[in-house]
Structure formats: structure tokens, C-alpha cells
Amino acid sequence: MAQRYGGKYSPQGPASGPDLHDPRSVPPHRRPDARHPQEGRPFWIVAAALPFLLSAFGSGPLTLARALAAFALIAGAAWTIREGLRAEFAYVARASAKRPAFPRKILGSVAYGLGLAIGAQAPGLGVIGAAGIGAIGTVVSLVTFGLDPLKDKGMDGVDEFQQERVARVVKEGEAYLEEMRKAITPSGERVLIGRVEQFATTARDLFRAVEEDPGDLAQARRYMTVYLQGARDATIKFADLWRNTRDQTARDDYAALLDDLEANFTARTRKMLEDGREGLEIEIDVLRDRLAREGVVPTTRKT
């Protein structure tokens, strides 16, 4: 399907909206990559296990069963490790997070080693030799992909009930963003697809800010639910209209809507971060006053 070019000198010009690299915007560390950098590597584990399938046929039922079981275990291990990488990525991206429900990378590595042990068919290898190959495979996988996060982080003094409320609202907001992406992608409009992705990044900045300070949920909930639901509905309606009419006015209106949404989400996120900074400055000033009264440090007041 042909796609409209959207560049600096295209008729529509560059994608409008707030500059993501503006130093006044949310700090870069709040904009993690969409995927774990190693997320694609488990695919090569499956590719390397293909010889098990090629050798499965023509050597009797026992060999067939062993080869298919080995390939199935290794393929399942690769999928489990990939899910573990995704869970780790979500864990690392948050200032406070619970450990994954179960250690996917560890379980995947064990399944990988078991698959290698079952698939080992060299003459004279024996059970001990196959077990050794499986153990080596497990260790190599653990060294390559690492262990899963095994403890909570940043949860000291956090109200778990409030944290669960935030998690539910974030999950709802992520669902709206995913529906927006699915609705706009078939349009083939690269500029608009990029603008929706850019808006999703801005919305996730707000999600991260609320996750770090669940007390901000009250002032951000409307953005994370009502506004995102409206954005989802508008995206679906625009995609249907664009597919049938190619109405340029509707396209411009939709792009303007994304600009307004992104500006408002950015402003709300920045306001919450500034409120947090003001609260920290107050705490620092109070602590300095107490220390000064105790004669520990000289009084230093900001002018």
C-alpha cells in the first residue's frame, strides 16, 4: 500500500506538535525505548533448534518423539524468555515496581537446557552427557539473558491499594493507546502514524509520573481515562472517514487534535513534576532549619 511521504519539504510539512527533544519537556530518561534491546534474540534460539526438526523424520518413532519434544521445549523456552525480557523492561522503566509474578527468564533457561538434554542423541553420550549439555545450555542462557528481578523496588512506604489503583488505570490507558495505534496504522499515513506514536510516548510520560507518585492519580485520572477514550474514539472515526473519503479537512482537524492532546498531556506531566520539586525544596529547607538549630550546619536560605 502506498504511503504518503511526510518530511521537511513535503506538502504537509513535518509532523507538528511539541518537540520531544525540547529541554523544557519531560527529561529523556522518562522516554525508554518501546522494546527491550534483547527482545529479538530468543528468535535465534528457535532458529538454531531447527536441525531437531530436520532430523526428526526417517529414524524411527523414538527419534521422532525426542526431536519434536526437544524443539517444542526450546521454542517454548524462547517465548518464555522473551516474555521475561518484556517484564524486566517494564520493571526497569518504573521507579517503583513489584517483581514479576514468576521468574520467566529463569524458567525459560531451565526449559532450554531440558530441551537440549532431550535432543542430545550422539552415540555413547549417555544420560550423564545429555544432562551435562542441558546444564551448560541453562547456564549459557542465564548468563546471556540474566536473572529476573527477584525483589520489589521503591515500594517502601507505598500504599499498595493506591498502587493497584494506579496499575488498573495505567492498564486501561495503555489499552486505549493500543487501539489508537491499530486504528491509524491501516491508513498508511506515515505522518499521522508517527504523530500517534509520539502522542503515545507523551501519554506514557504521564503514566510513569503517576506511578512514581500515586498521590497524583486524582488530578491525572481524567487524562488517563476520559481524554484517552475520546482520543481513541476520534482516531477510529477518522480512520473510517479517511478510508472512504480521503477528506483532507478531516485529516488536518485530526492532526490538530493530536497537537492539542499532546500539549495538554505534556503540561499536566510537567506540572506534576514541578509540584514534586517544590515539595522536595520545602523538605530540604525544613531539614536545614532543624540542623541549623542543632548547630550542625550554618543557616543557608535561598534568596
The predicted pLDDT at position 39 comes to: 84
Is residue 171 over pLDDT 60? yes
Q: What is the pLDDT of residues 191-241, one digit of tens each?
A: 999 999 999 999 998 998 888 888 788 888 899 999 999 999 999 999 999
Which region among 13-22, 149-158, 256-265, 266-275 has the lowest average model confidence (pLDDT)? 13-22
Check if the beta carbon of residue 131 is closer than 8 Å to that of residue 187: no
**CB-side neighbour CA atoms (13 Å) of 173:** 29
The predicted pLDDT at position 33 comes to: 47
Q: At what angle do helices 228-245 and 190-212 cross, to 10 degrees?
A: 170
Q: Provide the 8-state DSSP code for 31.
A: -
Helices (H), 226-247: 228-245
* Residue among 209, 136, 120 nearest 170 (CA): 209
SS3 32: coil
Question: CA 187: distance to chain centroid?
Answer: 25
Mean pLDDT confidence for 98-109: 89
Mean pLDDT confidence for 126-148: 91
Q: What is the pLDDT of residues 232-273, one digit of tens each?
A: 999 999 999 999 999 999 999 999 999 999 999 999 988 888
Cα 120–Cα 122–Cα 128 angle in degrees, nearest 5: 65
Residue 243: all three cell numbers together:
478510508
Q: Where are the domains of the chain?
A: 42-145, 159-293
Check if the beta carbon of residue 70 is closer than 8 Å to that of residue 115: yes
Residues paired with 189 in a beta bridge: 4
Residue 113: all three cell numbers together:
537446557
**CB-side neighbour CA atoms (13 Å) of 132:** 7
Which region among 15-29, 72-86, 92-106 has the lowest average model confidence (pLDDT)? 15-29
Q: For residue 154, what pLDDT band results from cuts at 50, 70 and 90?
A: low
The predicted pLDDT at position 2 comes to: 46
The predicted pLDDT at position 139 comes to: 95
The more confidently predicted of residues 13 and 129 is: 129
Q: For residue 157, what pLDDT band results from cuts at 50, 70 and 90?
A: low
Question: CA 254: distance to chain centroid?
Answer: 26
Alpha-carbon gap, residue 154 to 213, rounded angstroms: 11
Determine whether 130 is exposed, middle or buried from the number of CB atoms within 10 Å of its CB (0-12, 13-18, 19+).
middle
* Residue among 237, 179, 236 nearest 203 (CA): 179
Is residue 124 over pLDDT 90? no
Alpha-carbon gap, residue 290 to 303, rounded angstroms: 19
The predicted pLDDT at position 18 comes to: 42
Mean pLDDT confidence for 87-96: 78
Q: What is the pLDDT of residues 39-85, one digit of tens each?
A: 888 888 888 888 888 877 777 788 788 889 999 999 999 999 999 99
